[in-house]
Amino acid sequence: MASNIVVFVSLLWVLAAIGCAARSSCSSRKVDSVHDKKDLSSNGKVQIQHQPAKFGFRPWPKISDEAPSVDAFTESKAFEGSSPFVNMQYHMGPVLSPTIQVYITWYGNWKSEDKAIIKDFLLSISSPTELPSVQKWWSTITLYTDQTGRNITGSVNIAGEHLDQYSHGHSLTRLSVQKVLKAALKENNGTLSVNSHGGLYLILTAGDVIMQDFCRAVCGFHYFTFPSIVGYTLPYAWIGNSVKQCPEVCAYPFAIPDYMGATKPMKAPNGRIGVDGMISVIGHELSEISSNPLINAWYAGQDPTAPTEIADLCEGMYGSGAGGSYPGEVQTDGSGSSFNVRGINNRKFLVQWVWNPYLNACSGPNAIN
C-alpha cells in the first residue's frame, strides 16, 4: 500500500513538475505559509486549495491585489497551544531510524565561513551542548516512530560534501535539482556515495542561484529522487540562501517586509542574515524528511499529495507565545542577537519549533512553562 502511494505520488509529481508544481506560484490568490506545496488534484492539474486553518507564519509576498493577510495570521495568535483540528497521523511508511548520513551539495559559490555555520548546526543535532540546545530541539523529532516502533534517530553525521560550480546554470527547477544531485554521485564522477539506509541529501544553493518558486512559494522543499532521473529513490531537500533574493521572506525575522511597517528585524545570531535564515529552513526540511522521507509516514490531512508535515504546522514559531507574525519569546545575547538554541563551537541559532505528538502542539527546548 505504501509503495502504491509512492508510485501514485511520484506520477502526480512528475506531471506537476512538468506543468507548474506549486499552487502559489501558479494560480493561488491566497498565499499559504506551508513550505512545500504539493496539492494536485487527481488528474494531475494544480488546483487552488484553501486549508481549513492557517498554520505557522511566513511573510509571503503579495501576489494579487489583496492586501497581505497579516491580520489573518494574527488571528491565530493562540495557536502555539494545542489544536483539536490537527490530526497528525502515521501512514505506515518508513522514517529515518538508522543514523542519518547527510550528504551536502554546495551549489555555486559558497564562503567557507557560511558553510561552517551550516555544518555546525547539523553536527549540533547529536552533540550535547548548553541548553536550550539543538540536540534538545531534535528530541521532539525522535518521538516519532515507524510501524516497528523504531524512533527517528538522534544521530546525525555529515557523510560527504560535493562542490558544484553551477553545473546546471544559475537557474534551477524542481526537476533540474535532481540532475544536480545525480551529477554529485560518485558513479557520475561526483563525490557522494549512494546511501538508501539513512542517506539524506541536501542541495544548498548560493545567494545568486534562482530556483523555481523560490521566494514566492517556497524557501526550501523536500522530496525523494526519481529512479528515472537519478537512478535511485533518495530523500533530498533543497534550501536556498535568500540573502540577495528575498531575505524579508525566507530570512524573516532577520529581515522584515516593508508592509510590516515598524516591526524591527531581529539580529542574526551568526551575523549572516541569509545563512541564519537558512538554518531554520534546513531544520524544517530535516525534521520533515526524517518523519516523512517518502511522503507516506507522518503528516496531517487526508491528501497525501498535499501533506501538512510536522514542521509546516509550526513555521515561524520560535518561542512561547508565538502567533501570527510574532516569533515568540526568544533570548538575546550580549550583542543583541536573537537565538533559541545553542550548538557546538559556541554557536547560537534560531530554529523553528516542530509539532509534538504528545502535547498536540508546537514545542521547542526554550519553551517557558
Ligand X SMILES: *[C@@H]1O[C@H](CO)[C@@H](O)[C@H](O)[C@H]1NC(C)=O
Binding test (CB under 6 A) with ligand X, winner from 43, 189, 228, 346: 189
Residue labelled with grid coordinates 508544481: 21
The smaller minimum CB distance to ligand X, of residues 95 and 251, is found at 95
Tell me the per-residue interface mask from 159 to 188 with ligand X, x by CB under 6 A, - otherwise.
-----------------------------x
Quote the distance between the C-alpha of residue 79 and its chain's center: 20
Q: Looking at this protein, which amino acid is placed at residue 299?
A: Y
Give the integer Cα–Cα distance in Å for 180 and 178: 5
Give me the least distance between CB of 142 and ligand X, in Å please.
4
If one asks whether residue 145 binds ligand X (CB under 6 A), the answer comes out as yes
C-alpha 9/C-alpha 15 separation (Å) is 10
**Least gap, CB of 128 to ligand X (angstroms):** 14
Closer of 151 and 157 to ligand X (Cβ): 151
- Binding span for ligand X by CB under 6 A among 13-21, 140-148, 226-234, 247-255: 140-148
Stretch that binds ligand X, among 142-150, 223-231, 269-277, 361-369 (CB under 6 A): 142-150
Piece in contact with ligand X (CB under 6 A), picked from 89-97, 141-149, 257-265, 283-291: 141-149
Q: Which is nearer to ligand X, 107 or 326 (CB)?
A: 107
Min separation Cβ 146 and ligand X, Å: 10
The Cα–Cα gap between 242 and 108 comes to: 13
By CB under 6 A, residue 229 contacts ligand X: no
Binding residues for ligand X, how many (CB under 6 A)?
6
CA–CA distances in Å: residue 345 to residues 124, 281, 320, 342: 9, 21, 26, 9
CB 330 to ligand X: min, Å: 24
Residue 228 interacts with ligand X (CB under 6 A): yes or no: no
Is residue 155 within the footprint of ligand X (CB under 6 A)?
Answer: no
- Shortest distance, position 357 Cβ to ligand X, whole Å: 7
Which burial class, exposed, middle or buried, applies to 197 when counting CB atoms under 10 A from its CB (0-12, 13-18, 19+)?
Answer: exposed
Binding flag, residue 126, ligand X (CB under 6 A): no
Q: Does the protein bind ligand X through residue 142 (CB under 6 A)?
A: yes
**191 touches ligand X by CB under 6 A:** no
Nearest to 299 by CA among 289, 214, 48, 45: 289
CA atoms within 13 A on the CB side of 38: 26
Question: Does 148 engage in binding with ligand X (CB under 6 A)?
Answer: no
What grid cell was written down for 17?
513538475
**Residue 15 · residue 175 · CB < 8 Å:** no
Q: Which lies closer to ligand X via its Cβ, residue 60 or residue 138?
A: 138
Q: Is 360 in the site for ligand X (CB under 6 A)?
A: no
Residue 215 corresponds to which cell in the numbers above? Answer: 521566494
- Near ligand X by CB under 6 A, which window of 21-29, 71-79, 139-147, 328-336? 139-147
Closest approach of ligand X to the CB of residue 85, in Å: 22
CB of 264 closer than 8 Å to CB of 220: no
Interface pick for ligand X out of 127, 151, 195, 233 (rule CB under 6 A): 151
369 binds ligand X (CB under 6 A): no
Give me Rg for the CA atoms of the chain: 19
Nearer to ligand X, 31 or 88 (CB): 88
Q: What is the closest distance, in whole angstroms, from the C-beta atom of residue 172 to ligand X in the complex?
A: 19
How far apart, in Å, are the Cα atoms of 287 and each of 18, 45, 128, 281? Answer: 27, 28, 18, 10
**143 touches ligand X (CB under 6 A):** yes
Tell me how crowded residue 115 is: count the other CB atoms within 10 A of its CB.
Answer: 16
Give the integer Cα–Cα distance in Å for 272 and 284. 19
Q: Which is nearer to ligand X, 189 or 228 (CB)?
A: 189
CA distance 345 to 240: 24
CB 134 within 8 Å of CB 343:
yes
| Residues forming beta bridges with residue 348, ordered by sequence position | 342
Interface with ligand X (CB under 6 A): 142-143, 145, 151, 188-189
